Structure 1
Amino acid sequence: MTTKIHMLADALGRPLCLVVTAGQVGDVTQAKALLHGQSGSAVLADKAYDSNALRETIAAMKAEAVIPSNRTRKIIIPHDAEAYRHRNRIERCFNRLKHFRRFATRYDRRAIHFKGFTYLAAAMIWMA
């Protein structure tokens, strides 16, 4: 069984919220859990998070959805390309987490142990 990390990061690329799921779980299904109780002026996400329901959730937060349209979408919704360039901060955050060998190789057999170490690694990123 594989696992997948869904993460919310702040503007500085530090992890705020993490969700560990099975590998086959879609990204957009975890977005509401990540955004619950958060605030901000914009939400940057990749094409996997392109859905009308998520865009409505982001609009209810009074934030801008900076999500490129999925190629299967019939009507393309434009996004702020300049703001989308900053999405690499989340990728850099994942890269910082992968500096921890245990995270990168996923030694832990149980998801709860993997999640616990992921929280520990995230805390260490905040302290750095």
Structure 2
Amino acid sequence: GYSSTKIRSYLRRRGIKAAIPERIDQINGRIRRHESLCRLDRAAYRRRNVVERCFNKLKHNKALATRYDKRARHYEALVTIACLRIWLA
């Protein structure tokens, strides 16, 4: 998640509350148009950040990042091994 009008409208249509901080140009545009500012749920943003950091650690495994495996069960096994390596480290 990066903040954009397209992403925010997509989330809004599906009833999902965005945990994305707004860019400064979007904030300034809302102020100029006298619209209400989006509130950032900081607790949700922190939880989201933990998940993103986990994916970042998983992507350090080149075979996971490029998905060399053709079969889903092989890929799933590789994800499990990568998770175990992170957990045991």
Structure 2 length as normaliser, TM-score? 0.57
Partner of 1:82: 42
Change (3 A) 1:81 1:112: same
Q: Shift in Å at residue 71 of structure 1?
A: 1.3
Cα distance in 2 between the residues matched to 1:83 and 1:116: 32
For residues 69-116 of structure 1, what are the alpha-carbon distances to aligned partners after superposition, in whole Å with 9 as ceiling and x for unaligned?
x31157x87x87021121111011000000000100000000000000
Q: Which runs of 5+ in 2 are unaligned?
A: 2-10, 20-39
Going by fraction, where is helix more abundant, 1 or 2? 2
Runs of 4+ in 1 over 4 A off after TM superposition: none
Task: Kindly name which structure, 1 or 2, has the bigger radius of gyration based on alpha carbons.
Answer: 2
Partner of 1:72: 13
Q: Which runs of 5+ in 1 are unaligned?
A: 1-45, 47-69
Sequence identity percentage = 45
Which residue, 102, 107, 112 being the options, matches 2:63?
102
Change (3 A) 1:73 1:117: closer
- More relative contact order, 1 or 2 (CA 8 Å, 6+ apart): 1
Cα distance in 2 between the residues matched to 1:89 and 1:127: 18
Aligned length: 59
| Aligned-partner residue type, residue 42 of structure 2 | E
For residues 18-46 of structure 1, what are the alpha-carbon distances to aligned partners after superposition, in whole Å with 9 as ceiling and x for unaligned?
xxxxxxxxxxxxxxxxxxxxxxxxxxxx8
Structure 1 length as normaliser, TM-score? 0.40
Aligned-pair RMSD on alpha carbons? 2.7
Cα distance in 2 between the residues matched to 1:98 and 1:81: 27
